[in-house]
Amino acid sequence: MSLHRADTLGGRAAVVGIGATEFSKDSGRSELKLAVEAVHAALDDAGLTPADVDGLVTFTMDSNPEITVAQAAGIGELSFFSRIHYGGGAACATVQQAAMAVATGVAEVVVCYRAFNERSGHRFGSGLQSRQPSAEGVAMGWTMPPGLLTPASWVALHAARYLHTYRLSPDVLGHVAVADRRHAAANPAAYFYQRPITLAEHAASRWIVEPLRLLDCCQETDGGQAVVVTSVERARELRHAPAVIAAAAQGAGRAQEAMTSFYRDDLTGLPELGVVARQLWGSSGLGPQDIDTAVLYDHFTPFVLMQLEEFGFCARGEAADFAADGGLELGGRLPVNTHGGQLGEAYLHGMNGIAEGVRQLRGSSVNQVADASAVLVTAGTGVPTSGLVLTADG
């Protein structure tokens, strides 16, 4: 049963620093080095030092233990450290856990980080080559033998059902890719800076797993990203106006699996995001009509359309028209992924999307939405996941 009442976390913590390495295909350095660079950059952005930090949060998939990052970054004692499971689904939950630690007095300054050489090292897109027996791996035992071994193949089943149900062509997915790449083209930090694409180029890109084409799939990236969380009161004394964490939530749906929830009654939605949406709207007191811009996790284009529907920006089956009408573009009904997203800027398991949400509230995005005061950020889809509503202070 999902949360039926508003929680009390909102408004008690804020994001005060963001920092990243460059985004590349071959970083030439260790994942630990990337993590430390990102942490230092985020602290510098906040006007804080390693000595101020007493908490660290990352992903279970990250290869950089909190104590190792603390030692390498010059951070002293830690009173809080935590890791979140389920890959990209962890992104916003790192900030949620940091906020909970701050709000309860367990820690004062918490840094959330993610760093990997996901292009020059282990590539997630290559899929599963083998798996040790485990309870978690049982679900994969039903999908691996027929050849469903990659994230693209898992998402393709959902996408095929969605397109069939609403009688849509795979070409509708191109509007998501084109919008992301147009935003990335204006972002000097994006890997695809100055390289927009057209709908024709999307339609001409090769099939990966039908109905997904190459340009429906996010890139693979080497890099690191970190964000700093502290109390709203302390945030007001620091370098930038705080990005207040108005609401934070995690969610797992009924019959939830990690990317292979094929035995639900309906494959055309993302119930785990529905759980997150209900909590975010209920706890923040806001709704879809109040959001100025959104960062929607875009490892694959079909799931962006489904997220629009789960969060109530449009009705079921209407997201394709929403996107085709320019709704995702700067100046559209809901500008989405103004940094370029994971399709255009970088694939950092969604952490770079949190940073873009903060930039929008600061007024420093390269694709700035005028007077942005409320931003929705989501984490990985198809897995147990998380989300944030960030707002301007006051």
pLDDT tens digits, one per residue of 43-69: 999 999 999 999 999 999 999 999 999
- Model confidence band, residue 6 (pLDDT cutoffs 50, 70, 90): confident
pLDDT of residue 1 exceeding 60:
no
d(CA 297, CA 313): 15
Which pLDDT does position 104 carry in this prediction? 98
Please state which of the ranges 8-22, 92-106, 161-175, 258-272 shows the lowest mean pLDDT: 258-272
Q: What's the pLDDT band for 145 if we cut at 50, 70, 90?
A: confident
Specify the DSSP class assigned to residue 137.
Answer: G
pLDDT for 67 equals: 97
Strand order in the sheet with 293-295: 80-84, 55-59, 109-117, 222-231, 13-20, 243-251, 385-392, 374-378, 293-295
H helix intervals, 5-143: 31-46, 66-73, 91-103, 140-143
At 241, list the tokens: 């106006």
pLDDT of residue 89: 96
Instruction: List active site positions.
Output: 297, 347
pLDDT at 144: 81
Q: What is the pLDDT of residue 185?
A: 98
Average pLDDT over residues 347-358: 98
Closest CA to 13 of 302, 393, 304: 393
Q: Read off the pLDDT of each residue in 195-214 and give the average, rounded to a whole number.
A: 98
Which sequence spans correspond to the domains of the chain? 13-121+223-392
Is the pLDDT assigned to residue 167 strictly greater than 70?
A: yes
> Which tops the pLDDT comparison, 119 or 243?
243
- Sign of the CA dihedral 159, 162, 167, 173? negative
Mean pLDDT of 200-220: 98
Residue 3 has a pLDDT of 56
pLDDT band at 137 (very low <50, low <70, confident <90, very high): confident
Which pLDDT band, with edges at 50, 70 and 90, does 133 fall under? confident
pLDDT score recorded for residue 276: 98
Strands 55-59 and 80-84: parallel
pLDDT-based confidence at 29, cuts 50/70/90? Answer: very high
First-last CA distance in the chain: 33
Q: How many CB atoms lie within 10 A of CB 59?
A: 26
Distance between CA atoms of 262 and 260, rounded to whole angstroms? 5
Residue-level pLDDT at 124? 75
129: pLDDT strictly greater than 80 = no
Please state which of the four CATH numbers 3.40.47.10, 1.10.10.10, 3.30.300.130, 3.30.70.2740 is assigned to the domain occupying 13-121+223-392. Answer: 3.40.47.10
d(CA 26, CA 24): 6
Which of these, 287, 293, 335, lies nearest to 311 by C-alpha position? 287
Residue 155 above 90 pLDDT?
A: yes
pLDDT of residue 149: 87
Instruction: Say if residue 369's pLDDT is above 60.
Output: yes
Contact (CB, 8 A) for 294 and 377: yes
pLDDT recorded at residue 4: 61
The CA distance from 251 to 327, in Å, is 26
pLDDT tens digit sequence for 274-325 = 999 999 999 999 999 999 999 999 999 999 999 999 999 999 999 999 999 9
What pLDDT shows up at residue 300? 98
Label residue 212 by pLDDT band (50, 70, 90): very high
Residue 267 confidence (pLDDT): 93
Greatest pairwise CA separation for the chain in angstroms: 57
- How far CA 2 is from CA of 7, 151, 282, 339, in Å, comes to 12, 27, 12, 32
How many C-beta atoms surround the C-beta of residue 289 within 10 A? 7
Question: Cα separation of 160 and 145, whole Å?
Answer: 20
Question: Kind of pairing, strands 222-231 and 109-117?
Answer: antiparallel
Do residues 43 and 127 touch, judged by C-beta distance below 8 A? no
Which pLDDT score is estimated for 101?
A: 98
The rounded mean pLDDT for the chain is 95
